[in-house]
Amino acid sequence: MHQITVGNISIDVVRKDIKNLHLGVYPPNGRVRIATPLKIDDEAVRLFAISKMAWIKKQKLKFETQERQSERRFVSGESHYYRGKRYLLNVIYHNAPPRVEIRKINCIDLYVREGSTDEKREKVLTEWYRKQLKDQIPALIDKWQKIIGVEVCDWGIKRMKTKWGTCTIADCRIWLNLELAKKPEHCLEYIIVHEMVHLIERNHNDCFVAYMDKFMPHWHFYKEELNRSILSHEIWSY
């Protein structure tokens, strides 16, 4: 991958064994990427970008003005999200192992020991998010393996700054962003399907889109919802 500049916009150029040019503008800050066939030179890519410049600028503006959370300190009264819903954090100090509980009145109770640091409170809540996501994922993978006709040999959760998910095709392994614990379940399900479809089509080409349309006809709406959702201060700042 290398970059070209058109006007004041930097564009990542990736050459692949594909037939057509593919343009994308990606969250959170509107990174522009063009995938191009191996035989097309940079001048042709530049002219293609110029022809799409109005659309590129429109997409970049949308991401640049998207709402972001302020920096979290994990103290009482802060807003935190879980499965697409907003909760108020309530920090409770006690002399017992830390834990997290959700109350019906839209509160997340975070139990920690007296004198815990910001980092400690963040770690407790993050590990709770990780466990919740681990509990959600297996049933969704099992459901979609039967529908798509592929097998996921392994999966994992990790923090990712620029992707909601990724796929290691050779190992039939998918990785999911920890931030998905904060999003609605249908958004998590969309990312799982997206990565599983990569097990039968590596590239984001017309064939990939056709598979997504077949298996999850409303995937465009889920993608748009996910990309419109409030962004985390820390994980999504690049």
**CATH code of 92's domain:** 3.30.2010.10
Q: What is the pLDDT of residues 184-231, one digit of tens each?
A: 999 999 999 999 999 999 888 899 999 999 999 999 999 988 877 765
Q: Is 89 in the same domain as 45?
A: no
Residue 116 Rama label (left phi>0; alpha psi -120 to 50; beta)? beta
Is the pLDDT reported for residue 161 higher than 90?
no
Q: Is 22 in the same domain as 88?
A: no
Tell me the two tokens of residue 131: 């466990």
Q: Is 36 in the same domain as 115?
A: no
Return the closest-CA partner of residue 184 out of 150, 228, 214: 228
Residue 234 covered by a domain: no
Q: Is 54 in the same domain as 84?
A: no
Q: Is 43 in the same domain as 156?
A: no
Give the torsion through C-alpha atoms of 143, 144, 145, 150, to 10 deg.
180
Q: Tell me the residue range of the domain where 179 lies.
A: 79-228
Residue 23 Rama label (left phi>0; alpha psi -120 to 50; beta)? beta
Q: Is 8 in the same domain as 89?
A: no
Residue 175 covered by a domain: yes
Total domains in the fold of the chain = 2
155 confidence band (pLDDT: 50, 70, 90): very high
Provide the CA 72 distance to its chain's centre, in angstroms: 19
Q: Is 185 in the same domain as 110?
A: yes
- Whether the CB-CB separation of 231 and 27 falls below 8 Å is answered with yes
In sequence order, the 6+-apart residues with CB closer than 8 A to the CB of 95 are 113, 114
Q: Is 130 in the same domain as 207?
A: yes
